[in-house]
């Protein structure tokens, strides 16, 4: 699942620093509550979130129906753009020459991020849980979707759009 709508979504800003004041808006809280109602019958054993507070805030709302542990996993963090607090449009302009491999301002490339998310999925395969909820970010969800649904080339990852609090169900094999 992607986290709920945030104040930085409204501002069009990048965020990968958990210390920044990025939080769910009222709309984001309502989105999380709607998702919580839709998922209330699912028997989650735990919820995994990124280190960024917006994922924990979303998970906490959903967890009202589950009361399971919420754990942070670093590999779920949003892409480190090198543009924290700056416009997303500036980041896209900076990587336009090579969107898959460009690293700017000490950030990671899209392919670096993809490898990190794949490492998380590999770790997840070693876990004994039957049903988990993972709350992450659109960039992270793009990799997850491509991994589980297949047939999506790296050059088309950016064509995958995931709405706030949109979720997908996958089975690890």
Binding residues for substrate: 2-9, 54
Binding residues: 2-9, 54
Query: What Rg do the C-alpha atoms of the chain give, in angstroms?
Result: 16
CB 29, CB 64: distance < 8 Å: no
List alpha helices for the chain, DSSP H.
7-11, 26-39, 53-62, 88-95, 110-124, 138-149
Work out whether the CA dihedral 98, 99, 104, 108 comes out positive or negative: negative
Q: In whole angstroms, how far apart are CA 47 and each of 34, 84, 130, 142?
A: 17, 26, 12, 19
User: Within a 10 A sphere around the Cβ of 146, how many other Cβ atoms?
Assistant: 19
């Amino acid at each position: 699942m992607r986290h709920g709508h945030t104040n930085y979504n409204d501002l069009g800003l990048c965020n990968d620093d958990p210390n920044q004041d990025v939080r769910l808006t009222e709309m984001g809280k309502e989105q999380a509550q709607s998702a919580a109602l839709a998922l209330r019958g699912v028997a989650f054993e735990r919820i995994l979130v990124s280190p960024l507070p917006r994922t924990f805030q979303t998970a906490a709302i959903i967890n009202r129906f589950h009361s399971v542990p919420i754990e942070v996993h670093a590999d779920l963090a949003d892409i480190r753009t090198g543009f924290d607090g700056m416009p997303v449009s500036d980041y896209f302009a900076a990587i336009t020459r090579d969107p898959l491999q460009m690293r700017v301002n000490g950030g990671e490339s899209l392919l670096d991020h993809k490898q990190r998310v794949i490492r998380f999925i590999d770790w997840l395969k070693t876990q004994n849980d039957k049903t988990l909820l993972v709350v992450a970010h659109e960039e992270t969800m793009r990799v997850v979707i491509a991994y589980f649904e297949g047939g999506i080339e790296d050059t088309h990852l950016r064509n995958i759009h995931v709405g706030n609090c949109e979720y997908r169900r996958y089975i690890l094999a």
